Amino acid sequence: MIRLNISGNVIPTPNKLRASIGNLKLDKTKINLNNVLNTSVVEAELEIQSTFPKTVQIIFADDLEYLDIIPNIIELDPGERHTIQYRYNVAQKADFGNFFDKILVTCKIDDMKNTGYLYFTGNIEEDFSYLTEEDKKNAPALKLDTYVIDLGELHLKEDHQVEIPVRNEGRSDLIIRKIEPSRYCSLESYDSSIKPGEKGIIQIIVTPQISRRDFNTSLALVSNDPSRPSIKIRLTGKIEN
């Protein structure tokens, strides 16, 4: 027996729309804006095409005030292709850290409806470009005792309260913009503003509902410390059933 191995790279068909909502074809349904500044506005285009057998009305929901789809209502004939625009106003969203938004897309023909979503994801970073050298010298400075917290033995079906001390070793108020727990932990409370030289506390609840012996999760902390505006804290332990 002779075996023939064939390898190579698959070259995508040019201009082919690979995502779909029913018979509506799109460039993509998951739009990653990546790292964007909190002062920015992101504008780009998205190709769509109808493969419905009749004229279809496409409606993009406009319930997010910081996200515009232009046009948000359009009719397409069978096979017709169109370029829509989206405008994501990050400054108006007024948030920090990771975000996940979805827009309902409705395709209507007579009494028939297909629905799906456009998803917008990314990470919002604070714009510190306005800071002078003097501002930087007088900025807050976040300090943790450790970035990896060993919780020791954790019982599988018990919640565990954890306190994480946060110190401000800078010269102005440290503002905790956002705390993003990952799986198996939830945020209970935290001190959102910490004076220079003082300490704040983050309280979280860990729920290790897994069967593996090794426990590993994390949380992200976003602050107004311009030297390290975003940090991750890892929590580890051993599961005892």
Cα–Cα distances (Å) from 230 to 42, 124, 142, 200, 224, in that order, read 22, 10, 10, 17, 9
Contact 202, 225 (CB under 8 A): no
Q: State residue 239's pLDDT score.
A: 86
Same fold, 19-125 and 137-240: yes
pTM of the model: 0.86
DSSP H/E element including 91: helix 90-93
Could you count the other beta carbons within 10 Å of the beta carbon of residue 88?
22
Cis, bond preceding 71 (omega within 30 deg of 0): yes
pLDDT value for 210: 64
- The domains of the chain are located at 19-125, 137-240
Question: Would you state the structure tokens that stand for residue 215, as one six-digit string?
Answer: 């426990």
Query: Are 29 and 119 contacting, i.e. CB atoms less than 8 angstroms apart?
Result: yes
Assign 93 to helix, strand or coil: helix
Assigned CATH topology for domain 19-125: Immunoglobulin-like (2.60.40)
- Give the tokens for residue 64: 């997010």
Name the class of domain 137-240. mainly beta
Over residues 133-191, the pLDDT tens digits come to 999 999 999 999 999 999 998 888 888 999 999 999 999 999 999 999 988 899 999 99
Closest CA to 113 of 19, 18, 21, 20: 21
Residues in CB range of 110: below 8 A, 6 or more apart: 54
| C-alpha pair distances (Å), 65 with each of 19, 36, 103, 123, 143 | 25, 18, 12, 19, 36
Q: What integer pLDDT is reported at residue 1 of this predicted model?
A: 52
How far from 28 is each of 18, 55, 93, CA to CA, in Å? 7, 22, 23
Which backbone phi and psi does 49 adopt, to 5 degrees?
-150, 140
Q: Which amino acid is at 153?
A: E
pLDDT at 10: 46
Q: Which residue has the tokens 């996940």?
A: 100
pLDDT given at position 4: 52
Tokens of 177: 């913009």
Residue ranges in the chain modelled with pLDDT below 50: 10-12
